[in-house]
Amino acid sequence: MESNRQMKFHMLELALVLFFTKACASEIFPKAQNVTWSSINFKSILTWSPEPTNYSYTVEFSELGQNRDRTPHCIRTMATECDLTAGLKNLKAHYSADILSEPMRGVSSDLVEFPHVRSEKFSPYYDTAIGRPEFKIEVSSDKRKTTLHVTDVPTALFNEDKKRLNIRDVFGDNLQYKVTYRKAKSTGKKEKISKSSIIELTDLDRGESYCFYVQAFLPFRALDKQHGEISNIQCSPEESPSIFEGSIKRVGYRQPQRSSWLSSTC
């Protein structure tokens, strides 16, 4: 009977020790907060708060269901961000990350498990934001065709030969472009979606000035992540066909201000 009481007492004592050890650990090494993935053009950074005092952070990350990995510059760091671009090699995979609150470098601790918090899942291929593209306008000599030459946005990724990849290299045929355009003197707008970076428009009135903007379009993504950032607006000049016949004009100037027709597009 006495032995049972002693056993129960020791179990209670152990439970209390574990409880207060965890509570003490949380006080000494506070958990990270506001953990967020920030990614544009495949440069993917994990951020959090607060800035540490007398402790540090370590980031562990992995594909879902796989072993966790670390990157050297995010081990016992005093920073509140970690660039994981190079570590997320499988672009289509979904990743999660844990941020551990640990002692500073050179300081030991008897704790077996440190306080930590897990991020939401993140996939570079499906979640990274795409920046604004640049483009040039080409008007044919007979003014019947206007062509937009879009420059595919460069990314933060490199191939094995250290060549920087653009979004066409990454997305291939899954990358499309959405062009929104209108007459310079009108607010009515039209849209065209193209699978090519060279976009031909043949439904424009000859001699009229048109204004255009372009954005990447990724229809395979969730609705709120399909559209890239909108380019600067460029307008073709108003021309008289009889004066400019016989030459190809490459034009493109920026409209001083964005009009209200931008607001309801994406």
DSSP 2-17: HHHHHHHHHHHHHHHH
Give Cα 262 to chain centroid, integer Å.
22
pLDDT at 10 over 80: no
Cα separation, 21 vs 27, whole angstroms: 10
The percentage of residues in the chain with a pLDDT greater than 90, rounded to a whole number, is: 71
pLDDT of residue 234: 97
For the chain, the farthest-separated pair of C-alpha atoms sits apart, in whole angstroms, at 112
pLDDT at 237 over 60: yes
pLDDT at 220 over 90: yes
Convert 73-108 to b/e letters by CB count within 10 Å (16 or more is b): ebbbbeebbbebbebbeeeebbbbbbbbbbbeeeee
Least confident residue range of 9-13, 18-22, 67-71, 111-115: 18-22
pLDDT (average), residues 79-88? 98
Name the phi and psi angles at 245, rounded to 5: -55, 145
Burial class (CB in 10 A: 0-12, 13-18, 19+), 30: middle
Q: Which residue has the tokens 């193209």?
A: 194
pLDDT at 108 over 90: no
Answer yes or no: CATH 2.60.40.10 is held by domain 2-127. Answer: yes
Q: Which amino acid is at 176?
A: Q
- pLDDT averaged over every residue in the chain: 86
Least confident residue range of 20-34, 103-117, 173-187: 20-34
pLDDT of residue 244: 43
Q: What is the β-pairing status of strands 146-151 and 176-183?
A: unpaired
Per-residue DSSP letter, 120 = P
Cα separation, 219 vs 115, whole angstroms: 40
What is the SS3 assignment for 243? helix
What is the SS3 assignment for 134? strand
Cα separation, 261 vs 258, whole angstroms: 8
pLDDT (average), residues 23-30? 62
The larger pLDDT score, comparing residue 246 to residue 206, is at 206
CB 94, CB 64: distance < 8 Å: yes
What is the SS3 assignment for 95? strand
pLDDT of residue 254: 52
Domain residue spans of the chain: 2-127, 134-262
pLDDT interval class at 98 (50, 70, 90) = very high
The larger pLDDT score, comparing residue 16 to residue 77, is at 77
Return the CATH number of 134-262, one of 2.60.40.10, 3.40.50.970, 3.30.70.260, 3.40.640.10: 2.60.40.10
pLDDT at 145 over 60: yes
pLDDT (average), residues 3-28? 49
pLDDT at 257 over 70: no
pLDDT interval class at 3 (50, 70, 90) = low
Cα separation, 130 vs 152, whole angstroms: 10
Q: Find, among 72, 116, 80, 77, the residue nearest to 97 by Cα.
A: 116
pLDDT interval class at 238 (50, 70, 90) = confident
pLDDT at 102 over 60: yes
pLDDT of residue 261: 57
The larger pLDDT score, comparing residue 73 to residue 107, is at 73
